[in-house]
Structure 1
Amino acid sequence: MSQETQSKPDTILFKHAPAPMWLQQGSIVIDANSRALDLFQGPGSEGLIGTDITTLLSDCGQDGGDASLEALALFRDVENGNDATADWRCRKPDGSQMDLHTEMSPVDLDGQRFILIVAFDQTRLNRDREAMQTQRRQMQDFIGNFSHELRTSLFSILGFTSVLRQDEAVLDTGQFREFLSILNIETLKISSLVEDVLSLSRITAGAGVLKKRPADLIAILEELAGTMAGQATRNGVTLNQKLPDGPLTLFMDPDAIKRVFFNLIDNAVKHTPMGGWIELRADADTSRSSIIVKVIDSGLGIPARDLPHVFEQFYRVERSGFTPNGYGLGLSIAKQIVDAHEGSIAIESDEGAGATTTVVIPFSNGIDGMASLPISESVS
């Protein structure tokens, strides 16, 4: 190509266009503006020029076919005088990928046909769209799971109360207590469902405050362990405690902290198969001026791919052959509450080898003021 032809694309419009632009002969890039160079290579690099653009495309095209073959067909169509558009997923030199929307037009220079391509980076837009679709799907799943669990608990309560109301029903003391225990557990389930929905609503609305005061964390944990022992036993799981004899006082919102550990123990019960165990531990760490609580279980564990996401709203671990338990709010709400107490929460797990959830809360967190958090005001 002549020097004159080479210089023509190098106009002010081409060089300073707000969008990445490049000129191709066939599939070979012969010139590109700075935005295109930055998009593919980085500032100051001209590695894009001279490159066969099809080598930068992902293997899968718009219709699931070969991306390179689809691009070559489009290039031929443009060379025949037609405009074209295409969405490409391209590989960058660092291994990352980006989504481009491209618009192609034929350009004649010195009697030769070239292809002018204008590109728009849609990577963030597509990522945000996928995130919204995922969130919408998770919300739909949540509504379905919430409705199912609420209906199941209500039917159970109606069934057992119907038996208790029958004059001719003859129940010994053991059966009567068992029925009352089941009714208590099902009522707690409904209460937990409603409280999580209220928490979600307040998180979304950005309303609610923590009501902090000095309170004994051990008393809360002992009450929870006693309350949830029946649920664990029904699932064939043993719930053990290793708690200090004396009180451990925190400046906290007792109802909110109770919600945290209810969610953690409930989560452990749901994911521990029959014959397994759960252990609730607590102790003071004077070196860190904190109280450390651990919920340890011998359950199914969490796959490594899921660990980074377990505190996200509506996220549920999918397992082959297993129906996911819960509805993906418990851990998210727990983290919100712990964060508002200036503490930390973390989960360590290996798939098939159980999980350990560790909560660290400072003795005096935010003692000079009230910490804001959109949570429900009561757990009971």
Structure 2
Amino acid sequence: MMAAGIGAGVGSIFRAPLAGALFAAEVLYKDPEFESEVIIPAGISSVVAYCIFCLVFGWGSLFEAPDFQFRNPLELGPYIVLALVLVGTGIFYVKSFYGITAFFRRMKIPNHIKPVIGGLCTGIIGFFLPYTLAFGYGYVQMALDPNLLRNDISILFLLTLAIGKVLTTSFSIGSGGSGGVFGPSVVIGGAMGGVVGKFFHHLMPGVVAEPGAFVIVGMAGFFTAVSNTPISTIIFVSEMTNSYHLLLPSLLVCSVAYLASQRWTIYEKQVRSKIESPAHAGEFFIDVLQKFQVRNLMHLVQKVSLIPQRMSFQDFKGYFSETKQHYFPVMDEHQRLSGIFSSTDIRSVLFTEGLEHLILMKDLATTEIIVTTPQEDLNTVLQKFTVKNIDSLPVVRAEDHGILIGMLNRREVIAFYNEKIREMKGGAAP
């Protein structure tokens, strides 16, 4: 339901229903991985919300962009520079946002006063840079106009728009105010794209003929750099501008930006992958354990001392005082497993006097033995551990449950699981 809400909100407000659905599935993880379970519900909610929104506010894309074309492979060089500039700006955005947020959290004043201070700081910035206070979409639309971008909009204006937007967003939200980070990211990325586009247009006009194209690609690359969502962001910008001719440079810029900025994200609760997601913890626990069998842990199966079933409790007390063993398999006269007991089971008779010679160990052992075999998967083994809350299982031969191989401890299974999870997180094959 949360993902469906993300898809509906983003898909309708930014008029990008396909990207809204994919964004809801992609933004959950830092790795380029989709949450497949939410794509369908997020897609349905995004389409419905988009249609209702457009019925009220009109159809069409969020921005009107000229039909920019990518025809010169030499432009890929400036686009790579754009990607690196966007990464640097993105790091500044994330550091500023959470640095200011942490500053306000440390302030020893009532929480309802903090947004007042944040608003004051935002107002001071807006006094000198008034164009940083509005949504900023109008300035992005102006930058998409080839004539305005070449003649009327300066690099300084675009640069101060981007930096000012970073600061006003950080102060207004970081102090406890209400707001989002996607809209400002579109403006910041578009402005920095315009800066790089104008710079290379002046430097090499024969290669970069349309600096406005860098505005569009800048929007995609910047949000990728701060959100780790390269796929949905490419589609986002294409839908928002109704321009699909810049998919190739957008793919390059978003890929480079993603690879260079994986350490930073504007979404602090974003986890690395499904393995680290609390929502999938149980699934991976079962999946990992089902892949392995007890035979993979035979080096951890412990040899233990066997207790004759006719041993008296008096004799066992002397043995028990010298061992660290907690579970004791009981064998019949043919050395076959006939029962088992634990140190807890003997507690009730441990200090009973006068009966030590009369009580035999077979009287204390249970004959309803829960065992495992080398061929059994570890998930089943762990379930057996939890049936009666036991810490150790007898490992017997699959063809003959009377022949004991050794004892397997629960902590060894859990340690083995944790080791495999660490290997998976580190990229090693389990």
Which TM-score applies when normalising by structure 2? 0.23
Larger Rg: 2
- Structure number with greater CO (CA < 8 Å, separation at least 6) is 2
The structure where strand makes up a greater share of residues is 1
